[in-house]
Amino acid sequence: MSPTSTASVSSLRVAFNAADLALYKRVRSLGTDRADSVRWVRRYSRLGEHGAVWLAGGAAAALVDRPNRRRWLRATATVGAAYLVSTSIKLAVGRKRPAIEDLPHLMETPTGLSFPSSHATSSFAAARAFGALVPGAPLQVAAAAMGVSRLYLGVHYPSDVAAGAALGTFLGSFGR
């Protein structure tokens, strides 16, 4: 790579990181002074820990929807695989969670790693995979809300959530 190309890539990286941080700060400062709002968002976000709500929901659907049991199991396995892929990428990349002095995290997390958001990955994988079995629009809304919850609580940058959403949507396609 030429010195000019290296400088251009570096400039783009700086601009991207600045935009990512600015958007993080903007979302993170929205209504987080209301304890009741924080409490409800935290509860919703906890449902997505390790993809639990999606894995449990898919397993329950497989039990009650006998005609589509195999499809539910395939979709649910895909959500589990998406979570494992996301976690593996997170360990390989090693990006630390946001640490802004005047905007502390509003919940604890199992690790200090941020990229990609595993909550977003598993949620969007579930929305895509389960969307072949039930109406997809409510699932997409639930997945988007999960991603936004991670920003609101201050535990992810916007790019972490966007990458998780893209990864989850891609991987969820294999579960359809």
The CATH number of the domain holding residue 169 is: 1.10.606.20
Query: In which domain, by residue range, is 121 found?
Result: 3-175
Who wins on pLDDT, 10 or 148?
A: 148
How many structural domains comprise the chain?
1
Query: Over 70: is that where the pLDDT of 114 sits?
Result: yes
Q: What is the rounded average pLDDT of the residues 79-105?
A: 92
- The pLDDT of residue 29 is 78
| 122 or 16, greater pLDDT | 122
Look at residue 37 in the predicted model and tell me its pLDDT. 84
Our CA angle for 44, 62, 57, nearest 5°, is 5
Instruction: Please determine, for residue 9, whether its predicted confidence score (pLDDT) is greater than 80.
Output: no
pLDDT band at 73 (very low <50, low <70, confident <90, very high): very high
Predicted confidence band of residue 13 (pLDDT cuts 50, 70, 90): confident
Please state, rounded to an integer, the average pLDDT across all residues of the chain. Answer: 91
